[in-house]
Chain A
Amino acid sequence: MNLLICPSCGLLVTPLMNNKNCVLKCSRCNSVLLKYRKSSLRNCFVFSLSALILFFPTITYPMLKISMKGVYTYSSIWSCIQTFYAEGFILLSLLVLCTVVIFPFLYFISISYVVFSFLIAKKLPFTRQLLKLGFLLSEWSMIDVLLIGILVSSVKLIGMFGSDFGSGFYLVATLTILGALIEYYFDKNYFWFLWGKNERL
């Protein structure tokens, strides 16, 4: 990487890379240009794989349970989507399906696949496409917003029913943490640089 252009202000920068664990910032607008984190590949792989393992239980396990006069009901992510669909709000059910299920799942799967190809230093098929997809979807995955949504819903239900968190809530919280950790280690510029190096092998 001999030359960089700041994506926020367009300043041409010649990076000086002498430290493995550093964040490079634009001297003009202070935006982050590059992030070098120690063991970023290994950590990204571990976190994205863990997220994938937890993903399907997170979708199906109950997030919130309510009880009143012996009647128990619960809601999982999947039941939320189904209810919107059944009520005739197909666009809203699609929106929730995409932002909470499809986009995060594709994001985690593309990160694990791409990082795996970097770790074994082999050119695997569709790496470029998945790298592009991963970066695109990272901004549209909203598991963290859902976590706060569960907390707000539980507080709203307090006045009407006895509400309790289900195992799905703790899984959503874990996925949120894993997502934040991946974001910490995952850097667009660095990963594309590695992809270029991998291509030349």
Chain B
Amino acid sequence: MNDCDTDFILCLKCFNVVKASASTQCYCPRCYAKLFKRKKKSISNTLALLIAALLFYIPANIFPIMTVKSFGQVNSNTIIGGVIALYNAKMYFISAIVFFASIFIPIFKITTLFYLIFSLKSKKSLDNTKKTKLFHFVDKIGKWSMLDIYVIAILVAVVKMNFIAEIYVEFGAILFAAVVLLTMFAAKTFDIRLIWNSQKNI
């Protein structure tokens, strides 16, 4: 039986099951969190965050994320430029890691969440169990996009004191960090239980 068809509400903070009356606002007796059958404005909030993430994603890939000055040469690196440089240097494994973390994961996360939202209305889509697994996967891998931000932080700090080369952080890094955070928040605001609402009781 689905919880929507009963008086029971799940507290998402402490997983307590509370029997609630329909008329009054209900609080969890265990952790005092506000209780809702489903997260409030989940779809609109997730959509807003996803659109914002998508708007940041394009300039984050156009603007350089860091500039390297060494032996009189100045190289500004974009995210994709960094991946290509690693590939050209025959560091295939590392270039694949950076590609997945910085390019593939954010766009995969954005498209998957868009798909999950629009699949709520569409009849032709994956079955709900697969969609739930897909959501959990996307939620888990989201933080790995922060990899590039940490790489820049380490490189800038380690090379800073060395007068042979200099590495500077560029504006693209902020935009990219915003994409990562927005997609993470989007996954947190989306209520995956919505896809099961239309399902007949089992």
Chain A contacts to B: CB under 8 angstroms: 3-5, 7-12, 28-31, 63-66, 68-69, 71, 73-76, 79-84, 87, 89, 91-92, 95-96, 99-100, 128, 131-132, 135, 139-140, 142, 145-146, 148-153, 155-157, 159-161, 163, 188-189, 192, 195-196
By a CB distance below 8 angstroms, the chain A residues around B150 are 80, 96, 100, 142, 145-146, 149-150, 153
Q: In whole angstroms, how far apart are the Cα atoms of A80 and B146 in the complex?
A: 14
Whole-angstrom distance from the CB of B62 to the nearest CB of chain A? 19
Q: Mark B130-163, 1 if CB is under 8 A from A, else 0.
A: 0011011000000110110111011111111111
Are B89 and A8 in contact, with the CB atoms below 8 A?
A: no
Are A196 and B154 in contact, with the CB atoms below 8 A?
A: no
Q: Which residue of chain B lies nearest to A189 when distances are taken between CB atoms in the complex?
A: B15
By a CB distance below 8 angstroms, the chain B residues around A75 are 154, 157-158
Q: Is B2 an interface residue (CB 8 A)?
A: yes
Q: In whole angstroms, how far apart are the Cα atoms of A149 and B157 in the complex?
A: 13
Are A10 and B173 in contact, with the CB atoms below 8 A?
A: no
Are B129 and A10 in contact, with the CB atoms below 8 A?
A: no
Are A84 and B156 in contact, with the CB atoms below 8 A?
A: yes
Q: Knowing A29-B132, A145-B144, A153-B151, say if A7 contacts B15 (CB, 8 Å).
A: yes
By a CB distance below 8 angstroms, the chain A residues around B6 are 12
Are A155 and B91 in contact, with the CB atoms below 8 A?
A: yes
By a CB distance below 8 angstroms, the chain A residues around B47 are none
Chain B contacts to A: CB under 8 angstroms: 1-4, 6, 8, 10, 12-17, 30-33, 70, 86, 89, 91, 94, 97-98, 101, 128-129, 132-133, 135-136, 143-144, 146-147, 149-151, 153-165, 168-169, 173-174, 177, 181, 188, 192-193, 196-197, 202
Q: Which residue of chain A lies nearest to B158 when distances are taken between CB atoms in the complex?
A: A75
Q: Which residue of chain A lies nearest to B162 when distances are taken between CB atoms in the complex?
A: A73
Whole-angstrom distance from the CB of A98 to the nearest CB of chain B? 11
- Contacts beyond the supplied A66-B162, A156-B86: 20 A-B pairs with Cβ under 8 Å: A5-B10, A9-B132, A9-B196, A10-B3, A10-B193, A28-B129, A30-B129, A71-B161, A80-B154, A80-B157, A84-B169, A128-B30, A132-B31, A145-B146, A146-B150, A148-B147, A150-B150, A153-B150, A157-B155, A196-B30
Are B151 and A149 in contact, with the CB atoms below 8 A?
A: yes
Q: Which residue of chain A lies nearest to B181 when distances are taken between CB atoms in the complex?
A: A95
For B156, give its contact among A3, A80, A131 (CB under 8 Å). Answer: A80
By a CB distance below 8 angstroms, the chain B residues around A64 are 154, 158
Are A192 and B129 in contact, with the CB atoms below 8 A?
A: no
Are B193 and A83 in contact, with the CB atoms below 8 A?
A: no
Whole-angstrom distance from the CB of A178 to the nearest CB of chain B? 18
